Structure 1
Amino acid sequence: MSNRFDGKSVLVTGAASGNGRAIALKFAEEGAAVTVSDLQEEPRRGGDPTHDLIEEMGRDVQFVECDVSKPEDLHDAVAEHVEAFGSLDVMVNNAGIDRQIPIREVESDDYDLLMDINLRGVYFGCQAAIDVMADQADGGAIVNMSSIGGIRGLENSSLYCTSKGGVTNLTRQLALEHGENNIRVNAINPGVIETAMTLEDGDTIDGLLEETPLGRAGQPEEVADGVLFLASDDASFVTGHNLVMDGGFTA
């Protein structure tokens, strides 16, 4: 196994479960010190906490409770990360939720919930990371979690697609603004990935898979591979890019 992230430190939001858990574990496997950030320590589908598994690998790790809808929590999480590990080399803004509601039924509270977590959380996660990375000689890498919903419409998903569309374009904008600081900003746009969140809506997932040329859901570990590529020196000339990982759904 490669050790592309030896000596590097990584903060992952929403890392207790799903894609975030796979991302945090894979960074640790490749040598990184990791801050596991989430609202709770336990995975949604049970099992050992992510940070316990990383500790068993012999890697440096800490858990930081963080509500990404609160900018102060994100800035505090980054500050705790830097205090523990000395720098912030990679920030992965992964935390997110989904709600499928026809627009005529959407209440303002529904709107606020989706935007606060999916877009506000990414926006201020980027801000907190850039505050640190802009003063680091080596800059840093930010990877945001967008979606196929960030580049095309999905049934009854006006809220989700609006939030993820914001993430897609925010990624491009920040790449333009902070290339001069040697900060690369990219995003992953996954299709149907087999996580606890997606499995809760089986009918919708079945419909999406019918339109997926590869005929299956992706795995969190596959998403993690994409994240690590964008964060690594293998992608040293890649910024402002939204990497679609959807089994051909948008083809």
Structure 2
Amino acid sequence: MKTILITGSNSDIGIAVAKALSDQPLQLALQYYSNHSKASELQAWLDAKTVRSRLFQCDLTKPEQAESLIAQTLSEFGSIDDLINVVGPFVYKDVLDVTPQEWFDDINQNLHTCFYTCHYALDELRRNQGQIINFAFSGVENIKAWPMSAGYCAAKTGVAALTKSLAVALAPHKVRVNAICPGLVEEGHISAEERRQMASQIPYGRPIHPDEIGKTAAWLVWNSPESMTGSLITVAGAWEY
């Protein structure tokens, strides 16, 4: 039975990933930073499906807390087979108005957190010939001007580079490393007008549903080819940021 650690598990995408994975026997370690009630709702849903899970509240921008998360997961479940790094908030602000602290926070929350969890889980993932799934965004591989989200995009471009670098370094150990690159995702309680505005930008004609991201993660974990590693997998309805 696999043990899977999901960071940012109480985000809409994190919840969708956890639910999609739970169609197979597994154990889930669920990291979250805030909003305990939303995390608890997910755990209650998993309990109803008799999926063993545990919530871990921690701040992954602090490397010592990332290290502790890995240690606590191993103490609770005995192994980690897959690491799914969902955590990474989107920030929309003109780069000319971004402060040095805001820039640091963007990089810290979106890139450093990803590196820290990967770093501290490496020994266990090598032992289990496991898998890492990171999150970037649709179009990340094409350097463009992103003046309203420069910090976020710089960080996620770093995640793409980290994903490919880890894939090469870990391939001899049969550890796979891929990234999912979502487009405009219909998260939270967006209005009908917001939905129309999003849809007008997307060739497919509608935003991406969180459960479609969840299904992609589940496919990577359960059904993707054994040699598939170093891939950036776009789920965006042919839209690029």
Corresponding residue for 1:237? 227
Partners of 2:63 and 2:197 lie apart in 1 by: 36
Letter in 2 for 1:78: I
Amino acid at match of 1:84: E
Task: Give yes or no for the alignment of 1:118 onto 2:110.
Answer: yes
Tell whether the 8 Å contact from 2:198 to 2:207 is kept in structure 1 after alignment. no
Separation in 1, partners of 2:225, 2:47: 28
Report the AA paired with residue 246 of structure 1: A
Amino acid in structure 2 at the alignment position of 1:34 = L
Q: Does 1:82 align with 2:38?
A: no
Mapped partners of 2:67, 2:43: distance in 1: 20
Report the aligned-residue RMSD.
2.1
1:83 is paired with a residue whose SS is: helix
1:1-251 mapped onto 2 (5 Å cutoff): 7-40=1-34, 41-43=36-38, 49-134=41-126, 136=127, 138-148=128-138, 150-152=140-142, 153=144, 154=146, 156-196=148-188, 199=190, 207-250=197-240
Q: Count the aligned residue pairs.
A: 237
Provide Cα deviations, 1:10-66, integer angstroms capped at 9, x if missing partner.
Answer: 00001113100111122223221001110132229xxx5211211121111100112
Match of 2:38, SS state, is: coil
Tell me the SS of whatever aligns to 1:103: coil
Deviation at 1:206, TM superposition (A): 5.5
Which consecutive segments of 4 or more residues in structure 1 shift more than 6 A? none
> Is residue 37–residue 64 contact of structure 1 (8 Å, CA) maintained in 2?
yes
Question: In structure 1, how many angstroms separate the alpha carbons of the residues matched to 2:150 and 2:197?
Answer: 18
Whether the aligned pair in 2 keeps the contact of 1:37 and 1:66 (CA below 8 Å) is yes
Structure 2 SS opposite 1:12:
strand
Q: Confirm or deny: 8 A CA contact 1:147 1:190 kept in the other structure.
A: yes
Q: In the aligned structure 2, how far is the partner of 1:125 from the partner of 1:229?
A: 22
Structure 1 residue ranges without an equivalent (≥5): 1-6
> Amino acid of the residue matched to residue 209 of structure 1?
A
Say if 2:139 and 2:240, in contact at 8 Å, map to a contact too: no
Q: Which residue of 2 aligns with 1:4?
A: none
List per-residue Cα deviations over 1:50-89 (Å, max 9, x = no partner). 1121112111110011212111212211111111211101
**Deviation for aligned residue 1:207:** 5.0
CA distance in 2 between counterparts of 1:71 and 1:53 reads: 30
Contact kept? 1:184, 1:238, Cα under 8 Å: yes
- Secondary structure at the counterpart of residue 105 of structure 1: coil
Specify the code of the residue in structure 1 equivalent to 2:141: I
Whole-Å separation in 1 of the counterparts to 2:129 and 2:162: 19
Structure 2 CA distance, aligned partners of 1:148 and 1:206? 20
- Greater relative CO (CA pairs within 8 A, separation 6+): 2
Deviations 1:187-226 (A, max 9, x none): 0000011113x949x76x7655322111111111100111
Question: Which moves more between the two structures, 158-167 or 66-75?
Answer: 66-75
Q: State the alpha-carbon separation in 2 of the partners of residues 63 and 181 from structure 1.
A: 29
Deviation at 1:109, TM superposition (A): 1.1
In 2, the alpha carbon distance for the partners of 1:247 and 1:38 equals 29
Alpha-carbon contact 1:149-1:165 (below 8 Å) kept: no
Q: 1:207/1:158 Cα in 2 relative to 1: closer, same or farther (>3 Å)?
A: farther
